[in-house]
Structure formats: C-alpha cells, structure tokens
Amino acid sequence: MCTYALIGRYEQILLIATADRSHVLPGGPVHSGEPIEHALQRTLRDQLGTTLASIEFCSVIEHEDDRGVWLGSASEVAFLFDVTLPDVSSISDRFPCMHWWANESDLGLLQPAAIRNAILTGNLSSDFPWWAWSP
C-alpha cells in the first residue's frame, strides 16, 4: 500500500526522480501500523523537506505493480491526495535535483502506468474514488 501527493503549480504537476531514474509522484509506502496520511506527511518531509498546508482525498487506484519495487508484490493499492504546500518555492532551494514540474506532455514518463493513465483521462477526483485493477 502506498500514498502519493498530487501537487500542482499552474498547469504543472510535481514529479520526483527515483534512484532507478523513473519518475513518480511524491510519496511512497505506508509502513505497517502507520496511518495513510501520516505516511504521506513522512514521505513528503523526507523527499521534499516540507510540510503540508492542506491535504484532501482524491482517489484510490488498485493496479499491477509494474515497477516491482514494493516488497515484490504483484499489485499495489495507491491512495492519492490533492496536496497544497505552504510554499512550493522552498522545495526548489533544498532539493533541486530530485524533483521537477511536469507539463501534461511530460506525463508519459510518470510511473506507475495506472496512475499516469488515470491522471491523463482527466477523471481523477473524489467523484470517482475507486479505480479497480482488472488483470
């Protein structure tokens, strides 16, 4: 189980580069016994050096783990939240190499594919909270 942040600026969305050079939304795994929102706060603090100004539930996407990085599991349940940061410019000062602001045309690089596809459809919202995996 993972949690991810949808952080926007103008018409762009924040992505981070992982050690294997894939591009993902900020966030990551939820530890055993850890509340999902706490996991998101922890990973954003670790990845971006920032806190959250606001957090709002967006969707849950169940998908095949095509990256194979989370404990070797075959599937993942990803909780997505719309997140506002206190100051987006503060992450640029602290972590200039780990993140970038992606335009819609750049989203082809986003992993996992199920999250990328959900964003690109334009239907990713709490109005459609559950995206089931169909193997």
Total tally of structural domains belonging to the chain: 1
pLDDT score, position 71 = 52
pLDDT in tens, 69-120: 545 557 889 999 999 999 888 776 566 558 889 999 999 989 988 899 999 9
| CATH assignment of the domain containing 14 | 3.90.79.10
Strands 2-6 and 75-84: parallel
Burial 104-114 (b: 16+ CB within 10 A, else e): eeebeebbbeb
pLDDT score, position 95 = 61
Strands 75-84 and 54-64: antiparallel
pTM: 0.87
Q: CA 93, CA 20: separation in Å to the nearest integer? A: 23
pLDDT in tens, 22-49: 899 999 999 999 999 999 999 998 888 8
